[in-house]
Structure 1
Amino acid sequence: MSEDVVPADSELEAVRSALVEWYETDHREFPWRRTTDPYEILVSEVMSQQTQLDRVVDAWAAFLDRWPTVDDLASADRSEVVAFWSDQRLGYNNRARYLHEAAGQIVDEFDGEWPERPADLEALMGVGPYTANAVASFAFDAGDAVVDTNVKRVLYRAFGVEDDDEEFDRVASELMPAGESRVWNNAIMELGGVACGKTPKCDAAGCPWRRWCHAYETGDFTAPDVPTQPSFEGSRRQKRGRVVAALSDREAMPLDELGPKVRVDYAPDGEHGREWLRELLADLDDDGLVAVERRDGEEVARLRE
C-alpha cells in the first residue's frame, strides 16, 4: 500500500474537524462517556468485552453502586464479585477475578495512584493493550489511536487502507490529533458503530467522511469483516433514489442545487458534476420519472406528474 492513503495536510484538518464535530453534535449517550474516573472506565471496558453496550449500562451502574471505588472493590470478597458477574450474565467469570485483582494492584502496588500511560496500565491483571489504551484515552487523554474491528472497517473503506495491522496502526496514528485521544477515539469508534457498520448507514447517520470516502464514491463497501458487498449502498439505484427524494417536495430544482443532495462530492465542473448528473437524470427521464428543462436560462429538474 502506498503511503498516501492519509489525506494530504491541506485536507487533514478538515477530516479531523468533520469527525469531531459530528460526534460532539450527536452521539450515543453512555454514562461512562461522562466520567474521567479510571476505575469507572476500567469497569465499563472490561464489561463491554463480551456484552452489548445497552446491557452493560445497567450492570455497570449496579456494580458501581455496590463497589463505588477501587478501594471498595479491592477489599471485597472475590467470590461476591464473581457471583455478581455471573448474575448479570456478563460472560467469562475470569474477567471478574482479573478486575478484582487489578483493583488490589492499584491499592497495594500503586498506592492508589493510577498509571496514566497505556504501557504502564498493562501491568494490571487482565488489562491488555486495547483496554489499557482505552483507560489511558478516556480517563487521562493520554492514549494512542485506538484500532479495533470497527476502526479497521472505517479506515479500510474510507481511505483504502490495506488489511494489515501495521498499516491500520500507522494510519490511525497519523489521523488522530496529538493530545486528543479522548474525543478522537470516542468519535472514530462511534463512527464505526453507528454509521459504518457491516451494513453502512452513510446518509441516514450523516457520516462526516462521505466527501473523502472511497467506499461511498465507488459503492464498494467490502471490509475485512464484510466479505460480501452490500447491493444498494453507493449504487446507481441509490443515487436515483436520492434524486427522487430531493425533488419530492419541490416543484423544480436547479442542477447545481440538486447535485450535492445526490453526492456530497458533487462539483459542477468535476468528475461527478453536471455531466454526470445529466446522465443520471437522463435515465430517470427515460423511465418517465424526471424531466429536465430550462427556466430563466437555467437547467432545472422536476418530477413528472
Structure 2
Amino acid sequence: MTEPDGSSSDADADGAPSEGDAGGGSPPDEPELPDDVDAVREALVAWYEADHRAFPWRRTDDPYEILVSEVMSQQTQLDRVVSAWEDFVDEWPTTAALAGADRADVVAFWSDHSLGYNNRAKYLHEAAGQVESEYGGAFPRTPDELQELMGVGPYTANAVASFAFNDGDAVVDTNVKRVLHRAFDVPDDDDAFARVASALMPDGESRVWNNAIMELGGVACGKSPKCDEAGCPWREWCHAYQTGDFTAPDVPEQPSFEGSRRQFRGRIVRLLGEHEEMALDALGHRIRVDYAPDGEHGREWLRGLLSDLSADGLVRVESRDDQTTARLR
C-alpha cells in the first residue's frame, strides 16, 4: 500500500490498512458512477498495460515472493524495497528455505537493509514455518486462509490472493481511496469506498485491476496530481479534473495548482459539459475574469489549452464563418 513517493502509510502492525471510524448511522448516498462502467474499466487497464512501473514482484505470481514484497512495502519507499526484495529471495528463495533459516539471521537482514519494524521479519519467518508445517508447503489461496498466517492482515491477504492467484477482492488502500474520492466524488467513508471499489472491479480480474488502480494512485493521482503529465485515463469522467478540486481524504488542503494550466483545463471541460458548444471568447470570459482576447491571457493562450485537450481526445475545436467554437468530443 504505497504513497505516491513510494512509501507506505496507514498500515497497522499486521500489514492491514487502519480502519477509519465511519461514524455509525446510515451510509452516505451512493455516488453516481459513469453510465458506461465498461469504458472506465477498459481505459484504466489499457493505460496500465501500456506502461507501468516495472517492479520485479509484478513479474511473478509466486505467492511467497509476493508476500515478501507486501510485507517489505509497508512504510518503506519502493525504490529501497526493490534491492532488498531481490536480495531476500536470493538468500531464501522458498518458504522451506526461510522456515529453515535462523530467525536472528532474518532479523539481521531486515535491519541491515533498513526496512524498519523488525517484528515484521519475525512474522514473515513464522509465516513461512506455518506454510511448511500446516499447509504441507502449498501456500493457502483465499484471503481468509491467508489471514491465518502470522502477521498477515486483511489487506495483505487480499493483495496476495489477487496478485498470486487472481482471486482477491478489490484492494482499498490510501491510494485507491484518493482516486475514488477525486474521480467519482466518493465520500470519505470506508464502507462507501469498499462498495464503489467492488462495483468497479471486473469479475475475475483482481490481479490486473488492483495493480492498475494502485498504479493510478501512485503515478497520476498522488497528493499533487499529475493528470495530464501522466496521461490519466479517467480524465474524461473525473469529478476533480472537471471541477478543479483535488482535495482528498489524505489531502486536507488544496494542492498548489491555483492559476495552473491544469486548473483552467478543468474549467473548460466542466463548462463544455454544461453547454453543447461555446464560442472562443465566450469560453475565455467564463473561465478567467481577466480574459482579454488580445491580452496575455487571451485567444492565443486559450487556443493552447484547447489544443492540449484536443490532443487528449477530450475536446473538438472547429472554425467556421470567422468564428472558433469548442465542444466536448
TM-score (norm 1): 0.84
2:281 corresponds to which residue? 278
| Cα distance in structure 2, aligned partners of 1:264 and 1:36 | 41
User: By how many angstroms is 1:278 displaced?
Assistant: 3.4
Q: Which amino acid aligns with 1:2?
A: D
Deviations 1:149-206 (A, max 9, x none): 0000000111111111111100000000011000000000000000000000001011
Whether 2:175 is the aligned partner of 1:150: answer: yes
1:101 corresponds to which residue? 126
Bigger share in helix: 1
Deviations 1:71-101 (A, max 9, x none): 1001111100000000001001000000000
Whether 2:49 is the aligned partner of 1:41: answer: no
| Cα distance in structure 2, aligned partners of 1:149 and 1:143 | 18
3-state SS of 1:168 partner: helix
Counterparts in 2 of 1:264 and 1:15: CA distance versus 1, 3 Å: farther
Counterparts in 2 of 1:162 and 1:296: CA distance versus 1, 3 Å: closer
Q: Which amino acid aligns with 2:170?
A: A
Gaps of 5+ in 1: 243-260
User: By how many angstroms is 1:284 displaced?
Assistant: 4.6
| Cα distance in structure 2, aligned partners of 1:17 and 1:91 | 38
TM-score (norm 2): 0.78
3-state SS of 1:229 partner: coil
2:86 corresponds to which residue? 61
| Cα distance in structure 1, aligned partners of 2:163 and 2:261 | 41
| Cα distance in structure 1, aligned partners of 2:270 and 2:43 | 14
Greater relative contact order: 1 or 2 (C-alpha under 8 angstroms, separation 6 or more)?
A: 2
Counterparts in 2 of 1:95 and 1:276: CA distance versus 1, 3 Å: farther
User: By how many angstroms is 1:57 displaced?
Assistant: 0.4
CA contact (8 A) 1:39 1:69 kept: yes
User: By how many angstroms is 1:230 displaced?
Assistant: 2.1
1:171 corresponds to which residue? 196
Q: Give the aligned length.
A: 277
Counterparts in 2 of 1:4 and 1:168: CA distance versus 1, 3 Å: closer
2:32 corresponds to which residue? 5
Aligned residues: CA RMSD:
2.5
| Cα distance in structure 2, aligned partners of 1:227 and 1:107 | 46
Counterparts in 2 of 1:65 and 1:215: CA distance versus 1, 3 Å: same
CA contact (8 A) 1:6 1:174 kept: no
2:12 corresponds to which residue? none
Gaps of 5+ in 2: 1-27, 286-290, 304-317
User: By how many angstroms is 1:6 displaced?
Assistant: 2.6
Q: Which amino acid aligns with 1:139?
A: A
1:255 corresponds to which residue? none
User: By how many angstroms is 1:37 displaced?
Assistant: 0.2
